[in-house]
């Protein structure tokens, strides 16, 4: 089975190419932003298309009702007067009707012998076909011509021997139909559609016409169909407009989205580059820190809870920069874990512990120091070899160095188990650090070669405060004892917590209640004089 580390190696390699990463980040965000912009644009276009259709439809309907109203009035008036035939009086009558009504373009009299119109000899409208709609009183002709001349009739109404028509211009002046668009009158329950304006359209527009939905606007892939209810149930008006092709209809602001998102993508790329370079510079700074000895080790004493006797300490690394500022291990340890520099740090801590406290450890054989291991330390047998060499050199027994492993360090359990077992066989104690924050179950722990659990500070914090989770710590403690594991509570800050833990059978603890992390000298003093270090936070002292 390939090791996790081997699988991640190419990925890690990849992260060492900041330019590539920055370009990828920029590309990814460009794609995302552009997709969002296009989505937004389409949405906007849809909305404006619908709004436009609605407005057009309403204007048409208004105008049509006005036009029909005037045509009916005109033809009624002609029908009511006594004149018939094509005399000069009739001519005058026709002219008068056309003059009185704004929307009547032509008024005509037609019978078997004669035909005359208000427009004189110029033109007499003569329908070429039977009426499109034959009502009880009126006959209707729709779109009587398709010639482009706007003066030609679009609608014609007949009653008796009289015909009145309106010009197409009277319909098109309220709204311009988009090229290829049509206004249709739909008859016979939706089965027949006659264009009033514009070219004939494929009819019906959908297989299930009239569409069951009551929405006025129907959006088809290639056209918009807008249905208008009319006062008469016999016919419906339908406006059909081809959909605009995309890029040409974007309004001004939306055009800005595209260069805008490209610009933003560049900014993202630049930020990623900065971040990587900052990390890189931190990496090289850390390298320098290791060389120049800017790293220090502090010791947080660990106590037996009942007797308040110090039994050992946890070694905690500190980075004090030349300007005196301290960088938290929470910042540089994860980085060092990524770059592999953590191996050097672990070795440094181990070496420093033995240099600084070798003598103290030799003089106090019950005393131990706990050293934190990172995931990669657990994945290799290296640390066992390093500690064996250093322990021999300083004549300290392996039992006096314990190793803390977090659950995150157990990615490849088979390898971890093997290496931890080697450490234990050599005489070291192995502790699970931050227990409860990872994915390790207690049952799973049973299969690991460990001696002790460190209950994470989060669970200790909850003790005595949060009724809901204060039950977790006692639960972990009881199960740990069932598995014959020792328990250390970390982050004890109050006497109440110490008492509670003690009553639950926890033997050991560390935390600000007892002591902050202190220098080697202070720790040695604490041991030799048996003095308790408390109160003031002194972990910042060199």
Binding site for ligand C2E (CB under 6 A): 300, 315-317, 328-330, 333, 342, 345-346, 349, 372, 374, 433-434, 490-493, 510-512, 517
Quote the CA–CA distance of 371 and 353 in Å, as a whole number.
9
Number of H helices, E strands in the chain: 15, 20
Residue closer to Ca ion, measured from CB, 377 or 434: 434
Residue closer to Ca ion, measured from CB, 132 or 404: 404
Residue closer to ligand C2E, measured from CB, 240 or 315: 315
Quote the CA–CA distance of 130 and 134 in Å, as a whole number.
9
Residue tagged 């989505």 (tokens): 39
C-beta of 370: minimal distance to Ca ion in Å? 7
Residue closer to ligand C2E, measured from CB, 106 or 490: 490
C-beta of 379: minimal distance to ligand C2E in Å? 13
Residue closer to ligand C2E, measured from CB, 224 or 298: 298
Nearest alpha-carbon partner for 410 in 445, 386, 461 = 445
Scanning 27-35, 96-104, 194-202, 427-435 for contacts with Ca ion by CB under 5 A, the matching segment is 427-435
Residue closer to Ca ion, measured from CB, 155 or 349: 349
Nearest alpha-carbon partner for 478 in 505, 517, 503, 496 = 505
175 touches 59 (CB < 8 A): yes
Residue tagged 């104690």 (tokens): 429
Instruction: Show contacts with Ca ion in window 283-302 (CB under 5 A).
Output: none
For residue 215, the SS3 value is coil
The pair of three-digit structure tokens given for residue 37, joined into one six-digit string: 């912009």
C-beta of 480: minimal distance to ligand C2E in Å? 17
Site string for Ca ion, 330-359 (x = CB under 5 A): ------------------------------
372 touches 402 (CB < 8 A): no
Residue 112 per-residue DSSP state: S
C-beta of 452: minimal distance to ligand C2E in Å? 13
Q: How many residues contact Ca ion, by CB under 5 A?
A: 4
- 190 contact choice in ligand C2E, Ca ion, none (CB below 5 to 8 Å, kind-dependent): none
Which residue in 186, 433, 452, 519 binds Ca ion (CB under 5 A)?
Answer: 433
- 45 contact choice in ligand C2E, Ca ion, none (CB below 5 to 8 Å, kind-dependent): none
In DSSP terms, 319 is beta-bridged to 295, 327
For residue 135, the SS3 value is coil
Per DSSP (E only), the strands in 18-177 are 106-110, 115-117, 133-134, 139-142, 153-159, 162-167
C-beta of 514: minimal distance to ligand C2E in Å? 8
C-beta of 390: minimal distance to ligand C2E in Å? 15
Residue closer to ligand C2E, measured from CB, 133 or 350: 350
C-beta of 394: minimal distance to ligand C2E in Å? 18
Residue tagged 């799973």 (tokens): 444
C-beta of 377: minimal distance to ligand C2E in Å? 7
Residue 178 per-residue DSSP state: P
C-beta of 33: minimal distance to ligand C2E in Å? 38
Nearest alpha-carbon partner for 490 in 364, 350, 297, 305 = 305
Residue closer to ligand C2E, measured from CB, 106 or 434: 434
Residue closer to Ca ion, measured from CB, 141 or 368: 368
Neighbours of 204 (CB within 10 A): 17
- 317 contact choice in Ca ion, ligand C2E, none (CB below 5 to 8 Å, kind-dependent): ligand C2E
Quote the CA–CA distance of 498 and 492 in Å, as a whole number.
7
C-beta of 336: minimal distance to ligand C2E in Å? 8
C-beta of 454: minimal distance to Ca ion in Å? 5
Residue tagged 């729709």 (tokens): 142
- 104 contact choice in ligand C2E, Ca ion, none (CB below 5 to 8 Å, kind-dependent): none
C-beta of 534: minimal distance to ligand C2E in Å? 11
- 195 contact choice in Ca ion, ligand C2E, none (CB below 5 to 8 Å, kind-dependent): none
At a CB cut-off of 8 Å and minimum separation 6, what does 134 contact? 140
Residue closer to Ca ion, measured from CB, 106 or 434: 434
- 398 contact choice in ligand C2E, Ca ion, none (CB below 5 to 8 Å, kind-dependent): none
Separation in Å, CA 470 to CA 87, 484, 502: 110, 22, 15
Residue 366 per-residue DSSP state: T
Scanning 100-108, 150-158, 365-373, 521-529 for contacts with Ca ion by CB under 5 A, the matching segment is 365-373
> Is residue 434 a contact residue for Ca ion (CB under 5 A)?
yes
Run of H or E residues at 499: helix 495-503
> Is residue 404 a contact residue for Ca ion (CB under 5 A)?
yes
User: Strand order in 236-242's β-sheet?
Assistant: 192-197, 182-187, 236-242, 223-228, 217-219
Scanning 66-74, 421-429, 434-442, 461-469 for contacts with Ca ion by CB under 5 A, the matching segment is 434-442
The pair of three-digit structure tokens given for residue 329, joined into one six-digit string: 């291990």
Scanning 81-89, 260-268, 371-379, 509-517 for contacts with Ca ion by CB under 5 A, the matching segment is 371-379
- 76 contact choice in ligand C2E, Ca ion, none (CB below 5 to 8 Å, kind-dependent): none
- What value does the CA radius of gyration of the chain take, rounded to a whole number of Å? 46
Separation in Å, CA 263 to CA 17, 44, 237: 22, 22, 47
| Helix residue ranges per DSSP H, 312-433 | 329-339, 342-363, 375-378, 382-394, 413-425
Scanning 88-96, 102-110, 167-175, 369-377 for contacts with Ca ion by CB under 5 A, the matching segment is 369-377
Q: Which spans of this chain sit near Ca ion (rule: CB under 5 A)?
A: 372, 404, 433-434
């Amino acid at each position: 089975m390939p090791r996790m580390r081997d699988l991640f190696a190419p990925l890690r390699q990849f992260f060492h190419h900041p330019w590539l990463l920055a370009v990828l980040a920029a590309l990814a965000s460009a794609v995302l932003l552009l997709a969002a912009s296009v989505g937004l644009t389409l949405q906007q276009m849809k909305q404006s298309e619908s709004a436009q259709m609605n407005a057009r439809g309403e204007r048409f309907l208004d105008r049509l009702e006005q036009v029909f109203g005037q045509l009916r009035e005109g033809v009624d008036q002609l029908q009511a007067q006594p004149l018939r035939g094509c005399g000069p009086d009739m001519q005058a009558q026709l002219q008068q009707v056309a003059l009185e009504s704004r929307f009547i373009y032509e008024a005509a009299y037609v019978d078997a012998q004669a035909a005359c119109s208000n427009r004189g000899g110029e033109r007499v409208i003569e329908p070429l076909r039977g009426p499109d709609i034959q009502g009880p009183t009126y006959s209707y002709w729709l779109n009587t011509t398709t010639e482009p001349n706007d003066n030609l009739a679009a609608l014609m109404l007949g009653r008796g021997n009289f015909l009145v028509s309106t010009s197409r211009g009277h319909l098109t002046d309220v709204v311009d139909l988009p090229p290829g668009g049509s206004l249709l009158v739909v008859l016979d329950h939706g089965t027949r559609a006659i264009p009033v304006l514009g070219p004939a359209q494929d009819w019906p527009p959908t297989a299930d016409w009239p569409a069951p939905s009551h929405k006025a606007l129907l959006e088809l892939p290639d056209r918009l169909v807008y249905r208008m209810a009319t006062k008469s149930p016999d016919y419906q008006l339908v406006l059909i407009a081809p959909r605009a092709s995309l890029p040409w209809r974007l309004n001004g602001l939306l055009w800005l989205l595209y260069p805008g998102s490209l610009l933003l993508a560049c900014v993202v790329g630049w930020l990623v580059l900065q971040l990587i370079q900052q990390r890189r510079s931190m990496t090289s700074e850390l390298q320098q820190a290791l060389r120049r000895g800017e790293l220090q080790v502090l010791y947080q004493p660990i106590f037996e809870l009942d007797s308040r006797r110090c039994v050992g300490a946890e070694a905690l690394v500190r980075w004090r920069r030349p300007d005196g500022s301290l960088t938290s291990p929470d910042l540089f340890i994860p980085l060092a874990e990524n770059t592999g520099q953590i191996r050097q740090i672990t070795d440094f801590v181990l070496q420093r512990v033995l240099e600084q406290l070798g003598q103290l450890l030799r003089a106090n054989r019950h005393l131990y120091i706990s050293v934190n291991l990172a995931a990669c330390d657990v994945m290799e047998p290296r640390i066992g070899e390093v500690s064996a060499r250093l322990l021999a050199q300083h004549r300290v027994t392996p039992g006096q160095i314990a190793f803390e492993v977090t659950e995150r360090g157990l990615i490849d359990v088979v390898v971890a188990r093997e290496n931890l077992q080697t450490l234990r066989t050599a005489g070291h104690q192995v502790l699970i650090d931050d227990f409860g924050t990872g994915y390790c179950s207690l049952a799973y722990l049973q299969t690991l070669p460990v001696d002790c659990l460190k209950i994470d500070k989060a669970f200790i914090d909850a003790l005595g405060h949060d009724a809901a989770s204060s039950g977790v710590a006692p639960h972990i403690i009881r199960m740990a004892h069932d598995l014959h594991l020792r328990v250390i509570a970390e982050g004890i800050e109050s006497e109440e917590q110490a008492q509670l833990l003690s009553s639950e059978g926890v033997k050991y603890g560390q935390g600000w209640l007892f002591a902050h992390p202190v220098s080697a000298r202070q720790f040695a003093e604490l041991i030799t004089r048996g003095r308790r270090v408390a109160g003031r936070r002194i972990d910042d002292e060199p």
